[in-house]
Amino acid sequence: MIEPLQKHNAAQIAQLHIAGIPTGFISSLGKKFVAALYEAIAESPYGFGLVYEADGRVVGFVAFSTDIKGLYKSIIKKNVISFGFLLCGKLFSFQTIKKIFETLFYPSRSETQELPKAELLSIAVAETERGKGIAKTLIRQGLEECCSRKIEKVKVLVADFNKPANILYQKIGFKQISQIENHGIVSNVYVVSTDHFSKTY
């Protein structure tokens, strides 16, 4: 039931992302942009993801980056024209341009805090399928994959107000190490060691 994230899943993942995180900045950029972003993550050497399928449809996903700076660079290099085209109607807003820059430069800010390069980027489960352990299974499998790629630590940022997600990360073993403000929202920064998720553990 769990498969690697592939380009052809991107539209369903975009739908889950927007439904699950409707007030997020990425969601505000529109379904076509979000789908293109997940296509780019699936194709980047610095990104990977997993999808949870039930009855032939994607009901949950998780996306990881093994190196967030490398991911942004690889995505921009390959998709600058198509992304520019998808965003052109939105770039007239100063707030949007500011948020895009904040997103792009956040990896450099995190370097000064010596945070791991690898990051759990996003996760969402369809509302009807929540509470069944799908998110926990997806994250554990993703961390196993990170461990097998010799990535020792993974970070995740989550809005402080998102209680279900904060509880989820804590239950998996992520430890909160700081708080940052991004796009005017206070986010908790968690880090987990992947050695507990080694396939041989």
Ligand X SMILES: CC(C)(COP(=O)(O)OP(=O)(O)OC[C@H]1O[C@@H](n2cnc3c(N)ncnc32)[C@H](O)[C@@H]1OP(=O)(O)O)[C@@H](O)C(=O)NCCC(=O)NCCS
Q: How far is the CB of 105 from ligand X (least distance, A)?
A: 20
Note whether 161 binds ligand X by CB under 6 A: no
Please answer whether residues 172 and 192 qualify as being in contact, where contact means their C-beta atoms are separated by less than 8 angstroms: yes
Q: How far is the CB of 127 from ligand X (least distance, A)?
A: 8
Stretch that binds ligand X, among 28-36, 82-90, 91-99, 167-175 (CB under 6 A): 167-175
> What are 112's strand-pairing partners?
none
Note whether 130 binds ligand X by CB under 6 A: yes
C-beta of 91 vs 167, nearer to ligand X: 167
Q: Which of 75, 123, 146, 189 binds ligand X (CB under 6 A)?
A: 123
Q: Which of 34, 42, 75, 124 binds ligand X (CB under 6 A)?
A: 124
CA 28/CA 86 separation, integer angstroms:
12
Note whether 132 binds ligand X by CB under 6 A: yes
Whats the size of the chain, residue-wise? 201
Q: Pick from 56, 87, 61, 59: which is nearest to 6 by CA?
A: 61
CA 196/CA 171 separation, integer angstroms:
13
Please work out the total of residues on this chain that contact ligand X, with binding judged by CB under 6 A: 20
What does the DSSP assignment read for 43-106? HSTTEEEEEEEETTEEEEEEEEES-HHHHHHHHHHHHHHHHHHHHTTTTT-HHHHHHHHHHHHH
Q: Which of 158, 189, 191, 192 binds ligand X (CB under 6 A)?
A: 158
Reduce the secondary structure of 76-89 to three states and give it as a string.
Answer: HHHHHHHHHHHHCC
Q: How far is the CB of 63 from ligand X (least distance, A)?
A: 9
Per-residue contact flags (x/-) with ligand X for residues 21 to 50, judged by CB under 6 A:
x-----------------------------
CA 95/CA 58 separation, integer angstroms:
33
Q: Which residues bind ligand X (CB under 6 A)?
A: 20-21, 122-125, 130-136, 158, 162, 164-165, 167-168, 171
